[in-house]
C-alpha cells in the first residue's frame, strides 16, 4: 500500500524529503519550530515526526480535548489503561502532563522522546536513527495496537505520507510541509506479518475470530475483529437503522481501540479518510457498542477524523461510505432516507455531537440514494480563467454547475461553453447587476463562487461556507487562497486584503457587507 496516498492535502511536487531548512523555521512558525527542536533534541527524523503527527491529528490539537482512546495533542499522546505514552513522555522530558496535553511544543517534544526511547530499545544506532526507513518498527509500536496487522496498518499509513508528501495548515494558519521522498522501510519483525487485505493472506471465514483478509458481510472491506468484550454476540432487535459516527482519532487508532479489552466500545465498520478504505470490526449480526439505546437495532459506521476539522471528510470517504450504506440498506431492508440513516447525535439517549456541522448530509444522501459513481464537479482551482463561448474544460463544468445550482439553466454540465451556457451567464450577470457580456471573468466568477447563504465567518470558522468564501476570494483577488475549509491566518489575511481594496470595514470578519460585495462581483 506504500505510495498510494490520494488525499486532497497532499503536496505532489518537490524533491526528496529532508530536514528543516538550514536557517530554521521563522519565528512566526511555532509548530515548525517545535518539530525542528524536538527532532534535533531526540534525533528523530523531522519528516518522520511530522508524518506521525499528521496521521494522528492533521496537526490539529483540538484545544486539548482527548480522542476516543484518551489521546492528546497533535502527536496523540495517550493516557488509557493499556497505552500510556503521555505518562512515558512526562517521565522522559520532565514536562508536566497538563502541558503535554495542551501545549503543542511540549506535546511534540514528548512524542519525540517516546519515539527515541523505543528506538533505543530496538537497538537503533546513530547512523540508523538518521534514516527514516529504519524507524518502521518504532512507528508501528508508537501506534499502540496490540494486533500486529493493525500495527502494520498504522505504520504503513505513516510511510505513505512520507512517500507522497503533504502540506497541512494548523488551526492558526501555519503551513507545515513534508516533501515527497523515496521510501523503503525496514520492516523488521513486521516483515513476517501480512498486511490487512493482502490477497496472499488467509481469508476470514464467517466464524473466524482472527484477523483475516476480507469481510464476509461486505466483500470490499477488510476484517479486523474487535475484542469480544467490546460488543454483544447476536441481536435482540431487527436491523432498521444506520448510524454515522466520527472516530475522534485515526483510522488505525480506532481499529486498535476496538481491539483493546478496556475500551467498552466498538462499531461495525471504520472508514479511512484519504482513500475510503473500509475495515469491518463487528459482524452485522452482532451488536456493536456504538450508540447506547440505538445499539440493538442499528449498524454503526465510524469515519476517520474529528468533527471540528472538515479536512478529514474527503470525497473518497463520502463515496466509500455511501457505497457501504447502500449495500447495508439493500441487505437489511433499510429505507434510504434520513429517518433511518442518522447521525450519532440523533440517536435518543446520546450526548455525542458527531458527525457534526462539517458533515455534508446533502451530498452524502445524494450518493446513498442515487448510487452516483461519477466524479463530483471540481470547484477548487488555484486560479479562475476567463471563459466565453467556445471554451471547454473543467472550469466550464464548474461554471455550468454553479449556474444550474443557482437557478440559471446552463443545460448539461458537459464542459462545453455553448449557447445555453452563454444565455445562463448573461441572465446571471443581469441578476447581479454586472455587465451582461456572456463571458465569465473575475467579477462573474466571484459572484458565482460566493452565491448562497451568508453566515458570519471569522478565524476559527470551518466547513463548506468557508470553502465557498475561499474560492470567491481566489477569484476576486487573483491569487490562490487555499480551499481547505478552515478559516485560519491565511484566510484572515485574504479577507482583510479584500475588505481594504473594496472600501469595506477591515475587521477580518465576513458578515453581510463582505458577503454582499462578493456576491455582487466586486
pLDDT digits (tens, 9 = 90+) for 1-19: 333 333 333 332 233 333 3
Region 254-262: mean pLDDT is 93
Residue 383 CB neighbours (<10 A): 12
Region 296-317: mean pLDDT is 90
94 against 64, higher pLDDT: 94
pLDDT digits (tens, 9 = 90+) for 208-253: 445 444 677 888 888 999 999 999 999 999 999 999 999 999 999 9
- What pLDDT band is residue 23 in, cutting at 50, 70 and 90? very low
Phi first, then psi: what are they for 34, rounded to 5°? -65, -40
Residues whose CB is less than 8 angstroms from the CB of residue 175 and which lie 6 or more positions away in sequence, other chains included: 167, 168, 169, 490
pLDDT at 445 over 60: yes
Phi first, then psi: what are they for 315, rounded to 5°? -65, -35
Q: Which residue has the cell 469481510?
A: 215
Share of the chain above pLDDT 70, in %: 90
Q: Which helix (H) or strand (E) holds 328?
A: helix 315-332
pLDDT at 234: 97
Crossing angle, helix 148-164 and helix 251-258, to 10 degrees?
A: 170
pLDDT at 76: 94
pLDDT at 394: 87
301 against 215, higher pLDDT: 301
100 against 213, higher pLDDT: 100
pLDDT digits (tens, 9 = 90+) for 363-373: 888 888 875 44
pLDDT at 319 over 80: yes
Give the strand order in the sheet containing 222-223.
Answer: 222-223, 278-280, 269-271, 298-303, 241-246, 341-343
Residues 328 and 320 sit within 8 Å (Cβ to Cβ): no
pTM over 0.75: no
* Average pLDDT over the chain, rounded to an integer: 87
- C-alpha dist (Å) from residue 388 to 231, 283, 414, 421, 452: 59, 54, 15, 9, 24
Residue 185 CA to residue 129 CA, distance in Å, equals 13
Among 245-249, 251-255, 315-319, 479-483, the least confident range: 315-319
Cα angle: 263, vertex 264, 267; to 5 degrees: 95
Amino acid at each position: 500500500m506504500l505510495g498510494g496516498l490520494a488525499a486532497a492535502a497532499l503536496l505532489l511536487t518537490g524533491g526528496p524529503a529532508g530536514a528543516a531548512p538550514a536557517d530554521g523555521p521563522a519565528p512566526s512558525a511555532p509548530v515548525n519550530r517545535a518539530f525542528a527542536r524536538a527532532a534535533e533534541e531526540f534525533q528523530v527524523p523531522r519528516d518522520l515526526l511530522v508524518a506521525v503527527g499528521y496521521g494522528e491529528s492533521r496537526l490539529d490539537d483540538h484545544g486539548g480535548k482527548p480522542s476516543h482512546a484518551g489521546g492528546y495533542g497533535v502527536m496523540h499522546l495517550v493516557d488509557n489503561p493499556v497505552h500510556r505514552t503521555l505518562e512515558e513522555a512526562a517521565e522522559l522530558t520532565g514536562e508536566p502532563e497538563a502541558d503535554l496535553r495542551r501545549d503543542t511544543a511540549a506535546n511534540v517534544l514528548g512524542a519525540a522522546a517516546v519515539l527515541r526511547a523505543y528506538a533505543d530499545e530496538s537497538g537503533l544506532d546513530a547512523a540508523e536513527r538518521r534514516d527514516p526507513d529504519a524507524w518502521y518498527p518504532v512507528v508501528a509500536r508508537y501506534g499502540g495496537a496490540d494486533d500486529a496487522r493493525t500495527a502494520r496498518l498504522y505504520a504503513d499509513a505513516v510511510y505513505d505520507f512520507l512517500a507522497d508528501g503533504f502540506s497541512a495548515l494548523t488551526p492558526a494558519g501555519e503551513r507545515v510541509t513534508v516533501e515527497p521522498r523515496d521510501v523503503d522501510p525496514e520492516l523488521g519483525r513486521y516483515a513476517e506479518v501480512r498486511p490487512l487485505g493482502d490477497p496472499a493472506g488467509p481469508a476470514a471465514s464467517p466464524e473466524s475470530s482472527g484477523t483475516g483478509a476480507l469481510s464476509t458481510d461486505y466483500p470490499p472491506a477488510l476484517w479486523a475483529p474487535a475484542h469480544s468484550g467490546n460488543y454483544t454476540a447476536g441481536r435482540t432487535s431487527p436491523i432498521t437503522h444506520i448510524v454515522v459516527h466520527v472516530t475522534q482519532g485515526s483510522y488505525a487508532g480506532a481499529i486498535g481501540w476496538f481491539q483493546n479489552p478496556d475500551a467498552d466500545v466498538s462499531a461495525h465498520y471504520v472508514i479511512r479518510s484519504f482513500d475510503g478504505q473500509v475495515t469491518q470490526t463487528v459482524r452485522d449480526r452482532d451488536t456493536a457498542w456504538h450508540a447506547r439505546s440505538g445499539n440493538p437495532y442499528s449498524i454503526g459506521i465510524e469515519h476517520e477524523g474529528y468533527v471540528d476539522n472538515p479536512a478529514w471528510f474527503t470525497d473518497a470517504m463520502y463515496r466509500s461510505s455511501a457505497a457501504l450504506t447502500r449495500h447495508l440498506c439493500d441487505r437489511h431492508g433499510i429505507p434510504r432516507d434520513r429517518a433511518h440513516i442518522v447521525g450519532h447525535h440523533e440517536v435518543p439517549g446520546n450526548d455525542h455531537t458527531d458527525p457534526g456541522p462539517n458533515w455534508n448530509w446533502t451530498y452524502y444522501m445524494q450518493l446513498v440514494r442515487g448510487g452516483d459513481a461519477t466524479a463530483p464537479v471540481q470547484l477548487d482551482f488555484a486560479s479562475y480563467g476567463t471563459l466565453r463561448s467556445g471554451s471547454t474544460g473543467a472550469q466550464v463544468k464548474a461554471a455550468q454547475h454553479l449556474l444550474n445550482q443557482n437557478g440559471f439553466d446552463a443545460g448539461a454540465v458537459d464542459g462545453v461553453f455553448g449557447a445555453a451556457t452563454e444565455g445562463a451567464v448573461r441572465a446571471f450577470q443581469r441578476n447581479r447587476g454586472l455587465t451582461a457580456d456572456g463571458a465569465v471573468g473575475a467579477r462573474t466568477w466571484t459572484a458565482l463562487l460566493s452565491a448562497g447563504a451568508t453566515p458570519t465567518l471569522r478565524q476559527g470558522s470551518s466547513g463548506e461556507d468557508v470553502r465557498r468564501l475561499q474560492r470567491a476570494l481566489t477569484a476576486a483577488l487573483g491569487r490562490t487562497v487555499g480551499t481547505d475549509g478552515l478559516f485560519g491566518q491565511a484566510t484572515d489575511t485574504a479577507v482583510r486584503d479584500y475588505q481594504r481594496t473594496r472600501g469595506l470595514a477591515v475587521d477580518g470578519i465576513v458578515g453581510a457587507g463582505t458577503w454582499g460585495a462578493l456576491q455582487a462581483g466586486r
